[in-house]
Amino acid sequence: MFSDIQQTVLTQQQIADLVARLGEQISRDYAHKNLLLVGVLRGAVVFFADLMRAITIPCRIDFIEVSSYGDGTSSSGTITLRKDVKGPLAGFDILLVEDMLDSGNTISYLRRHFQDCGAASVKCCVLLDKQSAHAPGISAEYVGTCAPDGFLVGYGLDFAQNYRHLPYIGILRPQVYQGQEHT
Ligand code: PRP
């Protein structure tokens, strides 16, 4: 295990099992719909690439990039839209694909963003749901698993743009980020 990682949260095999289950569920639910997967860059990139290959029905893909964490460990609360989808979106069943639901700021922003785009539906799929970090009213329609407390990295998740390449998800040692906050 990488020395900056305090504890593994999900192994590669556990992630693969969750992705397979979500892929089956989404393929079943969207079988007669017009599925457009929208990956939320950058954190969702690894999850997105695996999930789309676990989906067995026709679908299209696009990406949106938003950011709110900067180099720190807590959400700034201000979402910056860096790249939008290309569209047109009319008639599509949009499924937003996110790595993590934490404070809920990003998912709430994205639901508002796609509200009046003419899509047939807008839903969210997250690999990790940190339920202790957001209000109970905020949720995703598809959830891989609950996330524990602690700062999670790997499988697309970063701290200050590092650790995204790790093939598993782990809790970052607090010593790594204490005293290094830049928010
Ligand atoms: C992270 C993560 C989610 C979001 C979840 O993105 O990838 O998109 O935060 O947190 P929230 O529920 O508190 O909004 P970040 O803003 O760090 O950008 P990134 O995807 O480029 O890592």
pLDDT one-digit tens code per residue, 108-158: 999 999 998 999 999 999 999 999 999 999 999 999 999 999 999 999 999
Helix axes 12-29, 45-53, angle to 10 degrees: 60
| pLDDT level of residue 182 (50, 70, 90 thresholds) | very low
Say whether 102 is catalytic.
yes
Strand bridging mode 5-10 / 35-41: unpaired
CA of 113 to the centre of ligand 1 (A): 16
Ligand 1 within 6 A of CB of 39: no
Domains of the chain: 13-147 (3.40.50.2020)
HSE-up of 164 (CA within 13 Å, CB side)?
13
- Placement of tokens 């949106």 in the chain: 64
Rounded mean pLDDT, 71-86: 86
Range list of H helices, 30-81: 45-53
Phi, psi of 8 (to 5 degrees): -80, 135
Rounded mean pLDDT, 149-169: 96
What was the pLDDT predicted at 183? Answer: 36
Q: How many residues does the chain have?
A: 183
What was the pLDDT predicted at 180? Answer: 63
Residue 5 scores a pLDDT above 60: yes
